[in-house]
């Protein structure tokens, strides 16, 4: 069975993905059996990497091709528990390989100081500029070009408009601005080294940043780009992960099952929603078991009890996630997962969200103070229990239903528009990004609908008691 492929941001990296494969997978079209065709470049790549590492990387894996791009296959029988890959820290692209004088200048600016991911992106820019003169050339040329990447930082405003009903829209705008800010901060420092960077362009920095965000690994020593590990693809059911051994200073993978010769070897990368995958990795899944939807709820300053509600929420809520919106309201974000449990707990709907709507709908100071007293007498968490008055409990949850319904309508309309869009407007959108937007919105819609169904049933149950 073909595995779904994802990458883990700053933790685990997978092989470059081909949009054609993802479209085949989304359409449930049978995927051809991978062929292990080790080409001349693969052999040169491995010889270079062994030389860089000063030791063997793996005696049981070989590079081949599959619909996923370059992949790793068992060249010998592999047993569960075998160490199948080891790569020392010295053979990883890390910020300590950036020239010291460059790092010192970068550290002078607060926008990039201490940001190991930004430093690795700068290092990657330098190695790309050096071309074949780079000591990392065999690895650098194996990375995808900008036009092969679909991270949302590359989407234009028309493409981003496809997901305007999802909170990921705001996150993508913020990410674009953050990358521009980092570039503006780094550029003056990099201009001191024309022999290393030549002309310094925003598009080059964005490309390097996207490569780092989608392919880098996080270790105790910071962010690393790890050659060869980029070719391991993801199996969500796998228990194999890449880990960093501090004592041996190596990254390694332990097989979680047996593999026959010629079988593609998989590891597990992480558990990401489609919004996270689209934002940082440049793809989405048609069926993502780890998907979630973010819901923002506003507490308007026009509410006479606004300050009291805000004070009591600030005192008791965890985690602290409030943001102020431009219209003068307190905004709090909650992540919802698909609700599959029909009981009163509503697994998938955060208790903090239900607490918020109870506070949001309070109509008197006495009611708020009663909540605070109850929190103090128990575990300190505010409004985590049903309100004593059934009518007030139902009223609060119906407010949540209204909010969910508005989001459902917005997502449904957006999906319909994507299905019917044609002509010049359709031609201006990258077809793969359009498919990403559909997957993202459809996944969030399913979660919102499951939450709505549970809350509606809860209101009915409470009203009948």
Residue 25 has pLDDT above 70, yes or no: no
State whether 248 and 321 are in the same domain.
Answer: no
Instruction: State the DSSP H helix or E strand holding residue 84, giving kind and residue range, or none if neither.
Output: strand 83-88
CATH number of residue 67's parent domain = 2.170.270.10
State whether 144 and 230 are in the same domain.
Answer: no
Residue 400 has pLDDT above 90, yes or no: yes
Output the pLDDT for position 98.
92
Number of domains into which the chain is organized: 3
Q: Is residue 24 part of a domain?
A: no
Output the pLDDT for position 110.
59
CATH number of residue 325's parent domain = 3.90.1420.10
Q: Is residue 113 part of a domain?
A: yes
Q: Is residue 51 part of a domain?
A: yes
Output the pLDDT for position 3.
37
Residue 140 has pLDDT above 90, yes or no: yes
State whether 374 and 320 are in the same domain.
Answer: yes
Residue 286 has pLDDT above 90, yes or no: no
State which of 223, 239, 259 marks the end of a domain.
223
Cβ burial, residue 194 (10 Å; 0-12/13-18/19+): exposed
383-391 long-range Cβ contacts below 8 angstroms, 24+ apart:
383/354, 383/355, 383/356, 383/358, 383/359, 384/351, 384/352, 384/354, 384/355, 386/462, 387/358, 390/462, 390/463, 390/465
State whether 67 and 154 are in the same domain.
Answer: no
Which residues, 6 or more positions from 282, have their beta carbon under 8 angstroms from its beta carbon? 17, 149, 150, 151, 152, 154, 210, 214
State whether 162 and 70 are in the same domain.
Answer: no
Q: Is residue 447 part of a domain?
A: yes
State whether 189 and 114 are in the same domain.
Answer: yes
State whether 82 and 101 are in the same domain.
Answer: no
How does residue 321 score in pLDDT terms, banded at 50, 70 and 90?
very low
Output the pLDDT for position 222.
86
Q: Is residue 20 part of a domain?
A: no
State whether 42 and 100 are in the same domain.
Answer: no
Output the pLDDT for position 78.
97
Output the pLDDT for position 13.
37
State which of 175, 196, 223 marks the end of a domain.
223
Q: What is the mean pLDDT of the chain?
A: 83
Segments forming the whole domain that contains residue 275 = 34-92+226-281
DSSP string, 303-355: STTHHHHHHHHHHH-SS--EEEETTTEEEEEEEE------STT-TTS-HHHHH
25 DSSP 8-state letter: H
Output the pLDDT for position 63.
92
Output the pLDDT for position 11.
37
Output the pLDDT for position 29.
38
State whether 458 and 311 are in the same domain.
Answer: yes
CB 267 within 8 A of CB 5: no
State whether 148 and 296 are in the same domain.
Answer: no
230 DSSP 8-state letter: G
Output the pLDDT for position 464.
85
- Nearest partner of 293 among 383, 411, 397, 175, judged by Cα: 411
Q: 382: number of CA atoms within 13 Å, CB side?
A: 25
Q: Is residue 10 part of a domain?
A: no
Output the pLDDT for position 426.
62
Q: What is the pTM (predicted TM-score) of this model?
A: 0.83
Residue 38 has pLDDT above 60, yes or no: no
State whether 118 and 41 are in the same domain.
Answer: no
CB 102 within 8 A of CB 186: no
State whether 129 and 169 are in the same domain.
Answer: yes
Q: Is residue 117 part of a domain?
A: yes
Rounded distance, CA 92 to CA 225, Å?
6
Model confidence pLDDT, tens digit, residues 246-268: 999 999 999 999 999 999 998 87
Model confidence pLDDT, tens digit, residues 179-193: 999 999 999 999 999
Q: What angle separates helix 19-26 from helix 431-464, to the nearest 10 degrees?
A: 40
Model confidence pLDDT, tens digit, residues 52-74: 999 999 999 999 888 667 789 99
Model confidence pLDDT, tens digit, residues 156-213: 999 999 999 999 999 999 999 999 999 999 999 999 999 999 889 999 999 999 999 9
Q: Is residue 9 part of a domain?
A: no
What is the arithmetic mean of pLDDT over 434-449? Answer: 96
């Amino acid at each position: 069975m073909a595995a779904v492929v994802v990458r883990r941001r700053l933790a685990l990296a997978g092989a470059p993905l081909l949009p054609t494969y993802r479209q085949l997978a989304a359409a449930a079209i049978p995927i051809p059996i991978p062929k292990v065709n080790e080409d001349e470049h693969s052999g040169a790549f491995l010889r270079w990497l062994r030389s860089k590492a000063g030791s063997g990387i793996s005696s049981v894996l070989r590079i081949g091709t599959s619909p996923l791009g370059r992949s790793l296959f068992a060249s010998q029988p592999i047993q569960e528990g075998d160490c199948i890959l080891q790569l020392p820290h010295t053979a990883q692209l890390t910020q300590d390989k950036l020239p010291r004088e460059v790092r010192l200048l970068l550290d002078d600016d607060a926008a990039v100081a201490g940001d190991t991911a930004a430093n690795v992106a700068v290092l990657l820019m330098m190695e790309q500029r050096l071309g074949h003169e780079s000591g990392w050339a065999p690895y650098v040329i194996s990375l995808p070009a900008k036009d092969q990447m679909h991270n949302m930082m590359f989407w234009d405003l028309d493409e981003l408009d496809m997901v305007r009903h999802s909170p990921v829209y705001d996150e993508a705008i913020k990410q674009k601005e953050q990358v521009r800010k980092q570039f503006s901060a780094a550029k003056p420092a990099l201009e001191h080294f024309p022999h290393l960077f030549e002309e310094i362009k925003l598009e080059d920095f964005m490309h390097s940043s996207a490569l780092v965000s989608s392919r880098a690994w996080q270790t105790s020593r910071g962010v690393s780009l790890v050659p060869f590990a980029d070719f391991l693809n993801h199996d969500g059911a796998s228990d194999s992960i890449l880990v960093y051994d501090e004592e041996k200073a190596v990254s390694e993978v332990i097989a979680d099952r047996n593999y026959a010769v010629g079988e593609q070897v998989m590891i597990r990368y992480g558990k990401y929603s489609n919004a996270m995958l689209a934002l940082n990795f440049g793809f989405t899944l048609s069926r993502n078991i780890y998907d979630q939807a973010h819901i923002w709820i506003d507490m308007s300053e026009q509410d006479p009890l606004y300050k009291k509600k805000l004070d009591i929420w600030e005192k008791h809520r965890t985690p602290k996630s409030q943001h102020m919106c431009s219209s003068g309201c307190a905004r709090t974000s909650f992540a919802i997962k698909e609700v599959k449990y029909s009981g009163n707990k509503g697994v998938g709907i955060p208790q903090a969200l239900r607490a918020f709507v109870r506070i949001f709908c309070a109509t008197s100071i006495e009611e708020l103070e009663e909540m605070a007293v109850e929190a103090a007498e128990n575990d300190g968490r505010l409004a985590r229990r049903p309100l004593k008055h059934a009518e007030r409990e139902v009223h609060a949850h119906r407010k949540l239903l209204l909010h969910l319904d508005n989001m459902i309508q917005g997502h449904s309309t957006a999906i319909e528009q994507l299905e019917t869009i044609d002509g010049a407007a359709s031609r201006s959108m990258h077809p793969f990004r359009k498919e990403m937007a559909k997957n993202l919105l459809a996944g969030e819609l399913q979660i919102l609908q499951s939450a709505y169904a549970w809350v509606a049933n809860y209101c009915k149950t409470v009203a009948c008691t």
